[in-house]
Chains A and B, each alone.
Chain A
């Protein structure tokens, strides 16, 4: 048996059903073996599309996503996606071919130091020097990717290793003496945490992407205690977006209620999040009244990294919540809730209606038409924030966006990965005209595999988010953000791929457009021409604090103190 077949057999033993990838010289032996394999391969049109699709596959399914690429340029096209998966703690295994061992280090054709390049953007990586190591390396790679704090692992396999005769065994033992994630929270700390919550007057529960798999326990814990729940961008869906205990998203474009709750909280229970600067704003002014911060995270390095933590709990969100549930009691929070309720009703998420069609109303219309029952993906920009604000997902693993890295272009490949993982679900990509154009070659992938993905392009003719910052912080000097003079006709572009195109330009055609998208049999690209001067609000400027929150555009100004 040759290395390439060994690799595929090892992948099968890991339960891999799908690989997203793109072939090339140095990975050809593996593609040759794939010809006879029962593993499904999704041929993408750019390796970046492949790694993003594998990422979304992982996040939508809870399994490990797999992407494959050739050496040099192929592997380097994975770089952005690997960094994205690392930042958002997503289990992905990337397999890359490399030049034959004898040529490594000689600047051979299509050679690049891929393990070197990807070292800081993977959880771990391997360069396989011996074909007999393949079963162990694959076993370890999947184990490392999926356990502890999940993340991407890359396996680089020289072409001659793929062609070498295997004399080893598939019965391998994990040999990772330096890798033992702690899953169970320390009972003493859990007890202290429950105690602090019981004594709290204004406690809050904040959850992030690390709690997506703990949604059941989270719901039970919140309902038992009556704690107000705040979900970060990565945590959206971990707690139902239609639940009375939910205050929304915190941070730069979070709700007034969520940000004020953090500002006034005395005890914060944070689970599976890492206090990103888009959540905290200026750290020294974050949660100034919190005398106790309880931080539950599976990665000990996250605890105390950004904010001072009084009760650290290293462990898996689900296991810790299960333990906490045993001692959880209903908390007396009536006074606190009165305050929260006041902020929530006084400052709901809203937009200033204009004669033009607006992104917010488009997203809201889809949310209403689907009852929030869809997997949503987004690009990065204003449309992403609007989707987070106005499409409150109710189920876990259903809001797939690039949180930590903020990678424009993930929308379509994420939708592909999600649809492959959960074909029975409605998948909607709310994309920006800028973001969509970074990876729109993957429309061909929709066609090739008949993937019923609905792409909603919120075309504001601008790199809108950058424009918004220029508007607010750069004296309206709109440097290099205008796209409308050269954007394609998105509907006709879709049609060129053989995909149904829809175009909506007027407010009064909104519902007809939504209907056309949702009733279409098969993929659709729908362009909604939206107002170009919209801003995302509320907004806490970068480096600011809850007190600096801008609720509406300064020209239409209403600032609030926290």
Chain B
């Protein structure tokens, strides 16, 4: 099963290294990883897409929690918003293709962010499924490059990834 996990960390040097090294060492399957700073100075937030059975996911969460610089781990099983940003550079053979690509762009609500004689860069935001379909739709035209950020996620409603203690107090 595919899981999206958010991890709140202290943005110390090598903290990302600790997380990827943990995944490598324990043989966890990491599909994507996205990281960025937060509104709180000193804290970064990481979104991980992980696949595995329940036992593996339980271990992923527990092993992440063992890292000293990890403050909070959430497996987004509850209603949440998931988004990925994708840039696709697609080949444009002629006017006909340009029009066909425009149709796809509109259907997906993508944006054109670069126009050249023989290519376009399209930008799309959406969940991973939508991004995947978008890429497939463009494939017949000749995809030159793709860059996906990997999913980022956030719980819906009041629930937040608060900087509260990750384990019960002593």
Contact at B18–A119, with CB atoms within 8 Å? yes
Q: Does B95 lie at the interface of the complex (its beta carbon under 8 Å from any beta carbon of A)?
A: no
Contact at B71–A178, with CB atoms within 8 Å? yes
10 nearest interchain CB pairs?
A: A301-B62, A178-B71, A124-B68, A180-B167, A179-B68, A178-B70, A120-B25, A183-B170, A180-B165, A182-B167
B118 partner residues in chain A, CB cutoff 8 A? none
User: What is the bound-complex CA distance between A144 and B62, given in angstroms?
Assistant: 17
Main secondary structure of the interface of B (DSSP, over half): mixed
- A115-B14, A119-B18, A127-B13 as given contacts; A182 in contact with B170, CB under 8 Å: yes
* Residues 36-91 of B contacting A (Cβ, < 8 Å): 55, 58-59, 62-63, 65-71
- A115-B14, A119-B17, A127-B13 as given contacts; A180 in contact with B65, CB under 8 Å: no
Contact at B67–A178, with CB atoms within 8 Å? yes
Contact of B166 among A123, A127, A178, A183 (CB under 8 A): A178
* Residues 121-158 of A contacting B (Cβ, < 8 Å): 123-124, 127, 144
Contact at A178–B58, with CB atoms within 8 Å? no
Q: Produce 1/0 per residue, B1-29, CB < 8 A to A.
A: 00000000110011001100110010000
B65 partner residues in chain A, CB cutoff 8 A? 300-301
Q: Does A116 lie at the interface of the complex (its beta carbon under 8 Å from any beta carbon of B)?
A: yes
Q: Does A184 lie at the interface of the complex (its beta carbon under 8 Å from any beta carbon of B)?
A: yes
Q: Does B169 lie at the interface of the complex (its beta carbon under 8 Å from any beta carbon of A)?
A: yes
A-B contact count (CB 8 A): 54
Contact at A176–B169, with CB atoms within 8 Å? no
- A180-B169, A182-B167 as given contacts; A301 in contact with B63, CB under 8 Å: yes
Q: Which B residue's beta carbon lies closest to that of A115? A: B14
Q: Which A residue's beta carbon lies closest to that of B43? A: A177
Q: Does B163 lie at the interface of the complex (its beta carbon under 8 Å from any beta carbon of A)?
A: yes
A139 CB, nearest partner CB in chain B, Å: 13
Q: Does B168 lie at the interface of the complex (its beta carbon under 8 Å from any beta carbon of A)?
A: yes
Q: Produce 1/0 per residue, A170-182, CB < 8 A to B.
A: 0000001111111
B62 CB, nearest partner CB in chain A, Å: 4
B70 partner residues in chain A, CB cutoff 8 A? 178
Contact at A119–B167, with CB atoms within 8 Å? no
10 A-B contacts (beta carbon < 8 Å): A116-B14, A116-B17, A177-B71, A177-B163, A178-B68, A178-B166, A180-B167, A180-B168, A300-B62, A301-B66
Contact of B68 among A127, A144, A182, A299 (CB under 8 A): A144
A116 partner residues in chain B, CB cutoff 8 A? 14, 17
Q: Which B residue's beta carbon lies closest to that of A151? A: B66
Q: Does A304 lie at the interface of the complex (its beta carbon under 8 Å from any beta carbon of B)?
A: yes
Interface size classification for chain B: 20 to 34
User: What is the bound-complex CA distance between A176 and B170, given in angstroms?
Assistant: 14
User: What is the bound-complex CA distance between A161 and B63, given in angstroms?
Assistant: 33
Contact at A304–B170, with CB atoms within 8 Å? no
Q: Does A305 lie at the interface of the complex (its beta carbon under 8 Å from any beta carbon of B)?
A: yes
User: What is the bound-complex CA distance between A179 and B67, given in angstroms?
Assistant: 8
A119 partner residues in chain B, CB cutoff 8 A? 14, 17-18, 21
Contact at B66–A299, with CB atoms within 8 Å? yes
- A116-B17, A120-B21 as given contacts; A184 in contact with B69, CB under 8 Å: no
- A300-B62, A301-B63 as given contacts; A178 in contact with B69, CB under 8 Å: yes
* Residues 106-125 of A contacting B (Cβ, < 8 Å): 115-116, 119-120, 123-124
Contact at A176–B17, with CB atoms within 8 Å? no
B170 partner residues in chain A, CB cutoff 8 A? 180-184
A299 partner residues in chain B, CB cutoff 8 A? 66
Contact at B169–A301, with CB atoms within 8 Å? no
A177 partner residues in chain B, CB cutoff 8 A? 10, 71, 163, 165
A184 partner residues in chain B, CB cutoff 8 A? 170
Contact at A304–B68, with CB atoms within 8 Å? no
A298 CB, nearest partner CB in chain B, Å: 11
B66 partner residues in chain A, CB cutoff 8 A? 299, 301
- A119-B17, A119-B18, A301-B66 as given contacts; A178 in contact with B10, CB under 8 Å: yes
User: What is the bound-complex CA distance between A144 and B69, given in angstroms?
Assistant: 12
User: What is the bound-complex CA distance between A285 and B22, given in angstroms?
Assistant: 29
A183 partner residues in chain B, CB cutoff 8 A? 170
User: What is the bound-complex CA distance between A179 and B68, given in angstroms?
Assistant: 5
A93 CB, nearest partner CB in chain B, Å: 14
Q: Produce 1/0 per residue, A297-310, CB < 8 A to B.
A: 00111001100000
User: What is the bound-complex CA distance between A184 and B168, given in angstroms?
Assistant: 10
- A115-B14, A120-B21 as given contacts; A304 in contact with B165, CB under 8 Å: no
* Residues 293-339 of A contacting B (Cβ, < 8 Å): 299-301, 304-305
* Residues 163-203 of A contacting B (Cβ, < 8 Å): 176-184
A123 partner residues in chain B, CB cutoff 8 A? 68
Contact at A180–B166, with CB atoms within 8 Å? yes
- A116-B17, A144-B68 as given contacts; A181 in contact with B167, CB under 8 Å: yes
Q: Produce 1/0 per residue, B155-170, CB < 8 A to A.
A: 0000000010111111
A137 CB, nearest partner CB in chain B, Å: 12
A181 partner residues in chain B, CB cutoff 8 A? 167, 170
User: What is the bound-complex CA distance between A144 and B68, given in angstroms?
Assistant: 9
A267 CB, nearest partner CB in chain B, Å: 22
User: What is the bound-complex CA distance between A300 and B64, given in angstroms?
Assistant: 11
Contact at A182–B25, with CB atoms within 8 Å? no
User: What is the bound-complex CA distance between A127 and B55, given in angstroms?
Assistant: 34
User: What is the bound-complex CA distance between A119 and B19, given in angstroms?
Assistant: 10
Q: Produce 1/0 per residue, A441-474, CB < 8 A to B.
A: 0000000000000000000000000000000000
User: What is the bound-complex CA distance between A124 and B167, given in angstroms?
Assistant: 18
Q: Which B residue's beta carbon lies closest to that of A119? A: B21
B101 CB, nearest partner CB in chain A, Å: 45
User: What is the bound-complex CA distance between A299 and B62, given in angstroms?
Assistant: 9
Beyond A120-B22, A120-B25, A176-B68, list 18 extra A-B contacts (CB 8 Å).
A116-B17, A119-B17, A120-B21, A124-B68, A177-B71, A178-B67, A178-B68, A178-B69, A178-B166, A179-B68, A180-B165, A180-B166, A180-B170, A181-B167, A183-B170, A300-B62, A301-B66, A305-B62
User: What is the bound-complex CA distance between A124 and B17, given in angstroms?
Assistant: 13
User: What is the bound-complex CA distance between A465 and B4, given in angstroms?
Assistant: 46
B167 partner residues in chain A, CB cutoff 8 A? 180-182, 300
User: What is the bound-complex CA distance between A295 and B163, given in angstroms?
Assistant: 29
B10 CB, nearest partner CB in chain A, Å: 7
